[in-house]
Amino acid sequence: MKNYNNTLESGAGNMVSYDADNSADELWSFIDDHLLHYGRDFVRELIGHASGSYLYTTEKRAIIDFSSGQMCATLGHNHPAIVDAMTRSAETVIHLDSTMLAPAIAHLGKELCDLLPAELSKVLFLNTGAESNEAAIRLAKLYTGGFEIVGLTGSWHGTTYGAASSTYASGRKGYGPSMSGSLAIPSPNCYRCPIGHKRESCELACLNFSFDYIDEVSVGSIAAILIEPVQSAGGIIVPPKGYMKRLREFCRERSILLIFDEAQTGLGRVGSNFAFEQEAVIPDILSLSKTLGAGLPLSATVTSKEIAESVQAKGYSHYTSHASDPLTTEVGLAVVRTIVTEELASKADELGLYLMNSLHTLQEKYECIGDVRGRGLLIGVEIVKDRESRIPDKQRLKRLTQRCFELGLNINQVGGPLAVWRIAPPLTIKKEEIDLAMEILDKAFASTEI
C-alpha cells in the first residue's frame, strides 16, 4: 500500500499532499506511458505548487508565470478569495441537477450583468469556452433561422464541433468536414496586412474586402459573425481603430448577429472590464470563460432579453450535466467581486502600459523583436529574422522560450505560422515582478544572440 500522506509546504504556509514514494523519473514514465498527447509537448518539470505570480517545481525552483496558467489564473495562483469560495462550496453544495440552483448563481447572474450594458441581461453558466461558444452559435441559429457562421482566420474558439469549425488558428486538418455553413474572412493583422496595405493607409480595406467576399460566397443564410476583440492564439492581433464599429454596421445592414468571444479579454485583462467597452460596440451575444473561473472551469453566454425570450419560445436547449454548478459559480462570484473591489481592470491598464514600455525598450536593443502590440496585460511580442523582411523566426523563439524557462520565466508561444510570445501575467502581478521578468528576458535575448 503506497503512502499518500507525504506533504510539501507551499509558499502560503499550507501543506499540500503529494506522493513522495516515486521519483521524478518514475512519474515521467507514468506520464509517457499513459497520458494521451493532446497538442504541445509537456514541460519536463513537475509543478509542486503555485502562489500569486509564481509556479514552484517539485525541485523547489521558482518560475514567474507570464501565461497565467492556461490564460485562466487572472487573479494569480491560489488567490485567497478563490480558495475561500471553493471551501465554502465544498462545505455546502458542490453539484446539483441542472434544474436546481444554489444562491451563489443568483448573485453571480446579477453582479455579472450589472457590469454589462442593459442590452446584455440574460446569462447561461457553463464550463469551458468551447461550450459557451457552442451555446452562442445555437442561440444565433435559432433566433435568426440562418445557419452560416462567419469566423476570422487566426481565430481560436474551442475544439468542440461548432467552435472548432470557426477556429482557424490551428487544429483544422485531418478531422473531416467542418460544420456546414462555416465561412472565414481575413484576420485584421496590421503588422502583416492580408491585402498588402500599410498601417498608415489602412482605411479598413481588409474589412471592406471581406464584406464583398462574404456577400459573394454566402448562400444568404448568415446567422452570426463570431470574433475575438483581440485575437490571442492567432498572435495577439489588435484590430485597427474603427474596425469593430464598421463590423457592427455590417451586421446590422444584413440582420446578422455579432458574437464577441471574450474568453481571454474579458474581466479586466485588457484594461477594462470587457474589451468591447474600448470599442464602444455592444455585441448581440457575449461569451466568457477563462477569466471568469480564474483557474476553475466556468464559462458564460450572455445575450439580450429579446433574444432569450425568442429562443425560449422556439424551444432552445443547451442542457449539460454541469450547467449552473454551485462550486464553479461560487468561484465566479468571488472573481467578479475581487475584480471590482480591487479595481483590477484599471490596474491592468496601468501595469500593461508599464510592461509595454519595458518591452519597447528591449525592442530598441534587439533587432529580432519585430513588433510589440496588445492591450492591458495581453501583449504580443513578434520575433523575426530581421525587421525588413519580417520573416517569422520560430527557431529563435523556441530557443528564447526555453532559455527564459531555465532562467525562471514562463511565456507561452502563439501565432500558428508566426513567431509570437503571448505575454499575459496575472492581473495581480507587482511592478517588481515585471522588472524581474524583464531582466530575465534581457538575459535570454543576450544569451541567444547569433
Catalytic residue among 134, 248, 264, 396: 264
What is residue 324's three-state secondary structure?
coil
Catalytic residue among 122, 347, 373, 422: 422
Q: How far apart are CA 111 and CA 345, in angstroms?
A: 16
Q: How far apart are CA 273 and CA 207, in angstroms?
A: 26
Strand partners, 286: 260, 302
Residues for the chain: how many in total?
450
Catalytic residue among 65, 134, 148, 261: 261
Q: What angle do CA 256, 260, 264 make, to 5 degrees?
A: 165
Helices 344-365 and 431-448: crossing angle in degrees, nearest 10, is 20
Catalytic residue among 65, 122, 156, 382: 156
Half-sphere exposure of 390 (CA within 13 A, CB side): 9
How many other CB atoms sit within 10 Å of the CB of residue 253? 9
Strands 378-383 and 409-410, by their bridges, are unpaired
For the question of residue 215 being annotated catalytic, the response is no
Phi, psi of 430 (to 5 degrees): -100, 155
Contact status, residue 342 vs residue 234, Cβ threshold 8 Å = no
For the question of residue 264 being annotated catalytic, the response is yes
Contact status, residue 372 vs residue 360, Cβ threshold 8 Å = yes
What is residue 299's three-state secondary structure?
strand
Contact status, residue 228 vs residue 244, Cβ threshold 8 Å = no
For the question of residue 138 being annotated catalytic, the response is no
For the question of residue 421 being annotated catalytic, the response is no
Buried b (16+ CB within 10 A) or exposed e, 366-405: eebbbbbbbbbbbbbbbbbbeeeeeebbeebbebbbebbb
What is the DSSP secondary structure assignment for residue 258, as one 8-state letter? E
Q: How far apart are CA 85 and CA 221, in angstroms?
A: 44
C-alpha cell at 219: 448562400
Catalytic residue among 131, 134, 228, 279: 228
Beta-carbon contacts of residue 226 (< 8 Å; ≥ 6 apart): 133, 136, 137, 149, 150, 151, 155, 157, 166, 259, 261
Helices 394-407 and 431-448: crossing angle in degrees, nearest 10, is 130
Q: How far apart are CA 80 and CA 51, in angstroms?
A: 10
Catalytic residue among 290, 375, 396, 403: 290
For the question of residue 156 being annotated catalytic, the response is yes
So which residues are the catalytic ones?
156, 228, 261, 264, 290, 422
